[in-house]
Amino acid sequence: MSTPRWMPRTAALLALALATGACTEDKPGGPDTPDGGETCAPANRNDEIRLGLAPACEGCHLAGNKPFFASLTAFENGLVYDERYVKRGDPENSLLVQMLEATAPGSYRQMPLGQRYDELVASGHVSLTIDQVKAWIRELPPPPGRLEVADPEAFTVRRLSAEELVVSLMDQLGLTLEDFVSTSDPNWRNKAYVVNGGKLFVWPGDWSPGISNEYVSDSRSVERYDALGGGNSLVYRKKDVGFGPSAAQTLVQMSQAWCARAVDKKSNTAVLRYVTLADTTAKNPDAVQKNLRALYLRMLGQPPSDAEAKQLFEQVYLPLEAQSTRLGWIGVCASLIRHPLWLTY
* Residues in touch with ligand HEC (CB under 6 A): 53, 56-57, 59-61, 64-66, 79, 85, 96, 99-100, 106-108, 111-114, 117, 242
CB 328 within 8 A of CB 317: yes
117 vs 193, beta carbon nearer ligand HEC: 117
| Minimum gap (Å) between residue 67 Cβ and ligand HEC | 9
Nearer to ligand HEC, 10 or 172 (CB): 10
Question: What's the Cα-to-Cα distance from 27 to each of 31, 34, 56, 82, 317, rounded to whole Å?
Answer: 6, 10, 18, 32, 42
The enclosing H or E element of 39 equals strand 38-39
Q: How far is the CB of 89 from ligand HEC (least distance, A)?
A: 18
79 contact partners, CB below 8 Å, separation of at least 6: 68, 85, 86, 96
Least distance from C-beta 83 to ligand HEC, angstroms? 12
Provide the minimum distance between the beta carbon of 96 and ligand HEC in the complex, in angstroms, as a whole number.
6
Looking at the Cβ atoms of 75 and 203, the one nearer to ligand HEC is 75
CB nearer to ligand HEC: pick between 86 and 271: 86
CB 113, min distance to ligand HEC, A: 4
**Number of Cβ within a 10 Å radius of residue 5:** 16
Closest CA to 274 of 260, 259, 288: 288
Question: In the complex, what is the shortest distance from the CB of residue 251 to ligand HEC, in angstroms, rounded to a whole number?
Answer: 18
- Which DSSP helix (H) or strand (E) runs through 38? strand 38-39
Nearest residue (CB) to ligand HEC, 83 versus 306:
83
Contact call for residues 265 and 254 (beta carbons, < 8 A): no
Closest CB 10 distance from ligand HEC, rounded Å: 18
Query: Which of 50, 293 has the CB closer to ligand HEC?
Result: 50
Q: Which is nearer to ligand HEC, 20 or 291 (CB)?
A: 20
**Residue number with the smallest Cβ distance to ligand HEC:** 57
Single-letter code of the amino acid located at 245: P
| Helix (H) / strand (E) containing 35 | strand 34-35
Distance separating alpha carbons of residues 333 and 345, to the nearest angstrom: 19
User: Residue 328: how many CB atoms within 10 A of its CB?
Assistant: 25
Query: Closer to ligand HEC at the Cβ: 79 or 316?
Result: 79
Question: How far apart are CB 38 and ligand HEC at their closest, in Å?
Answer: 24
48 burial class (0-12, 13-18, 19+ CB within 10 angstroms)? Answer: middle
Radius of gyration of the CA atoms of the chain, in A: 24
